[in-house]
Amino acid sequence: MKIISIVGARPQFVKAAPLSKELRKNFREILLHTGQHYDHNMSPIFFKELSIPKPDYNLGIGSGSHGEQTGKMLGAIEKILLKEEPDLVLVYGDTNSTLAGALAAAKLHIPIAHVEAGLRSYNRKMPEEINRVVVDHLSDLLFCPTETAVSNLKLEGITRGVFNTGDIMLDSLSSSLKAAQRKSRTLEKLNLKSKTYLYATVHRPENTDNRRNLKNILDAFGESDKTIVFPVHPRTQRMIKEFKLKIPKNIRMISPVGYLDSLQLQVSAKKVLTDSGGIQKEAYVLKVPCITLRTETEWKETVKDGWNVVVGANKEKIIDSIKNFSPKGKQNNYFGTGDSVSKIVKIISNY
């Protein structure tokens, strides 16, 4: 069986790393990178740290408006699919690269497997929500990370080819956490002691492209008596400059970090503040309280267990949760046990 795996953005590299290794033991895998992310700390660093094979194709599409970026990918992916004639196209998550890959394959009647299927925020203003809904409806194999995801699909009438395989990010996390703690020098470099600082990431358009929201978030961070380590996404960096926002003194702005530093900074943080999906879940698994800078979350289980609080860009709520949010409760096994790669490979083999 010939499989084309399509990746393009940071979280997809993390998810593809463990699966690609296993796929190559059983099938012929061709790796296609759309080039959606291209900076050293946004793409090559992940390939190096996670020993992901060099992509067979890199389309070099880069940034652009949603329509332009997705459209360019669609045309370029179609050409490769026509040339390679794969038996299956594998897409990950919910980025524009996921949408373009699935759409190109569907139009050519090539079966599609979607890793991280069934997630919903029920907020169609999020570009990712549109991508997820469309990709799930086009997919033949839908690998869900949780039972909630399986139920979400059922509500939309999708029941065939649906499997709860657990969350693939746990496979990545469990195989990299020790390496992160051994190899990462980030705490030393930043002169930080474990559990004395907060870790923050902000990259969603609803926060970065809205002056009031971005200012609220930075101002709230500034009210904390703790150092806040803040790896800054290129878009966030650009918008801080464009909006001429002041950076409070306790915020340590650093360049985007690779996977190992990211894990090390999270596991050693007192609390995490984020609008990322993946980081909410990583924080949960690492037992670090998470304050989510969004108005809703796809990872409801983390909120249900009390380890995640959803506060949006509300300054008072952020300040309050930085001070007072300190969960201690038991955690449940919602995301599986880190063996989703073997489950996925088995299902693909029987397909």
Catalytic residues: 203
Q: Which stretch binds ligand UD1 (CB under 6 A): 80-88, 89-97, 308-316, 321-329?
A: 89-97
CA dihedral 335, 174, 89, 351 (to 10 degrees): -70
Q: How far apart are CA 294 and CA 274, in angstroms?
A: 8
Helices 168-183 and 259-267 sit at what angle, rounded to 10 degrees?
80
Binder of ligand UD1 out of 21, 235, 300, 343 (CB under 6 A): 235
Work out whether 226 is an interface residue with ligand UD1 (CB under 6 A). Answer: no
Smaller CB distance to ligand UD1: residue 6 or 192?
6
Structure tokens, 104: 């190109």
Smaller CB distance to ligand UD1: residue 36 or 227?
36
Binder of ligand UD1 out of 5, 96, 164, 216 (CB under 6 A): 96
Binder of ligand UD1 out of 3, 4, 42, 112 (CB under 6 A): 42
Q: Which stretch binds ligand UD1 (CB under 6 A): 13-21, 52-60, 90-98, 186-194?
A: 90-98
Q: How far apart are CA 99 and CA 70, in angstroms?
A: 7
Smaller CB distance to ligand UD1: residue 12 or 227?
12
Smaller CB distance to ligand UD1: residue 95 or 227?
95
Q: Residue 269: helix, strand or coil by DSSP?
A: coil
**From residue 346, how far is each of 52, 123, 193, 268, 329 by CA, in Å?**
21, 33, 43, 35, 35
Work out whether 38 is an interface residue with ligand UD1 (CB under 6 A). Answer: yes
**DSSP calls for 78-120:** HHHHHHH--SEEEEETTSHHHHHHHHHHHHTT--EEEETTT--
Work out whether 271 is an interface residue with ligand UD1 (CB under 6 A). Answer: no
Report in angstroms how near the CB of residue 69 gets to ligand UD1 at its nearest. 6
Q: How far apart are CA 44 and CA 41, in angstroms?
A: 7
Work out whether 234 is an interface residue with ligand UD1 (CB under 6 A). Answer: yes
Site for ligand UD1, rule CB under 6 A: 9-11, 36-39, 42, 63, 94-96, 127-128, 203, 234-235
